[in-house]
A and B are shown apart, each in its own frame.
Chain A
């Protein structure tokens, strides 16, 4: 026997279920008056620095149908490549940009929408710069543990080609699942849960 490390086990994940919008975007699903506004609905204000972009997309199941009961969250650096987080030690991020957003997928079309700014580049472990990207997290009924992935930009071909995470994807055509469609300033990022176009999800 050796000493007990004393570590705890992470609480097991459970599905967000069909009514995740009640808890996380109550105003969106008609529960008014509890919170002034849904958290993460608005990411930028008049003073936020950087190029305004819109990211829309759908989360699509294995039968090709967009999910209408999903919730998508994003997390990204500001225009200068700094995160608005205490663990960011390289400098102070734009105080007018939290870097986090939350969107339900719409009840009619299954679209999520984020009005944000284009993120700057952030260094990898070894100091090399990663290509500009936005981190995504997806939960819904039928998803037992939240799915992490990233969105990269279609107009950053050179940076994408040198990105250390994209370079780790063994089957090269699958790297394309992480690159949005569209062009400045309107990007479209569809997330495929299964099938030929299955998005690369991350264990990170």
Chain B
């Protein structure tokens, strides 16, 4: 990590505060259909405040921290010469902000279950088999155009203890850093055409159908590699920031 990189498409790093978050677009903290949220949701009003320096700044991650296989989940945990089992897919897209500008140097981290719907975790109890060649985590940093990509196997759906018969649709977890700590976001990506998306209580916590559709990656036929891997395109939008039309400077600066 270093602080010597440029902060976006402009030469001059941006210093404006972020747009207020549209909380009606996100799932509410308390969503009783998702039982775990009941005892883990704040019940008092949030304290709302325009972002200060502490929120409009954020850590920078250099491309040099990445290993060659960091964005290749088919191989980054596999024994030499072997690979993970499952449907080979490429997931790619752009990280943009609400103004439509690409967010460059954004750290994107992802994790997922294996092709059978099983996570590599000691608390995981689903009876589907572990894949000895699949760890389930990866990361990438966006280029100047805001683009990222990785290769993986399509995760399986799996049952989870919530309702008697609740299943998670196939999904990949995403964690994204933009340029400010207030942009920090974790979300999940779903797959086009999966009927289970609409049965999931975690998805269903999102009040607006358009916000759910924004989480569904499209099958990207154009970028599908013949005889190799299908592509899915998933764009991610982070909070936009205000332009600093007029800078208020303390006297003397």
Contacts and interface: CB of A to CB of B under 8 A. Distances in A.
Contact of B48 (A14, A143, A146, A203): A203
B36 interface: yes
A14 B53 CA distance: 26
A95 B41 CA distance: 38
B75 to A, nearest CB: 10
Interface string B28-72: 110100101111111110111111111111111000010101100
B47 A202 contact: yes
B136 interface: yes
A10 B239 CA distance: 6
Nearest to B59: A100
B151 interface: no
A92 interface: yes
B206 interface: yes
Interface in A136-158: 137, 139-148, 150
Contacts of B25: 9-10, 12
B22 A9 contact: yes
Given A83-B57, A204-B48, A20 B173 contact: yes
B76 A34 contact: yes
Given A75-B58, A87-B179, A193 B111 contact: no
Contact of A11 (B31, B37, B59, B238): B238
B180 interface: yes
Contacts, number: 288
A10 B135 contact: no
A14 B121 CA distance: 20
Contact of B122 (A30, A33, A76, A100): A30
B3 interface: yes
Given A31-B136, A124-B52, A145-B26, A15 B34 contact: yes
Interface stretch (A49-57, A127-135, A182-190): A127-135
Nearest to B45: A203
A84 interface: yes
Contacts of A15: 34, 36-37, 186, 188, 202
B109 A135 contact: no
Contacts of B219: none
Nearest to A124: B52
A29 B121 contact: yes
B211 A9 contact: yes
Interface in B128-144: 135-139
A180 interface: no
A127 to B, nearest CB: 4
A26 B73 CA distance: 13
Interface stretch (B5-13, B82-90, B221-229): B5-13
A10 B120 contact: no
30 contacts: A10-B26, A11-B215, A12-B211, A18-B123, A19-B121, A22-B120, A22-B136, A34-B137, A62-B39, A84-B60, A85-B59, A85-B179, A93-B3, A98-B1, A100-B58, A125-B52, A130-B54, A144-B26, A144-B37, A144-B205, A145-B26, A146-B184, A148-B55, A174-B44, A193-B39, A194-B40, A199-B42, A200-B47, A201-B42, A203-B49
Interface of A: 6-24, 26, 29-31, 33-36, 39, 61-63, 67, 69, 73, 75-77, 83-89, 92-93, 95, 98-100, 107, 122-125, 127, 130, 133, 135, 137, 139-148, 150, 165, 168-169, 174, 193-194, 198-204
Given A15-B34, A145-B29, A202-B48, 15 more contacts: A8-B97, A9-B211, A9-B237, A10-B239, A17-B188, A23-B111, A34-B135, A35-B139, A85-B179, A87-B13, A88-B3, A89-B13, A142-B41, A144-B31, A203-B46
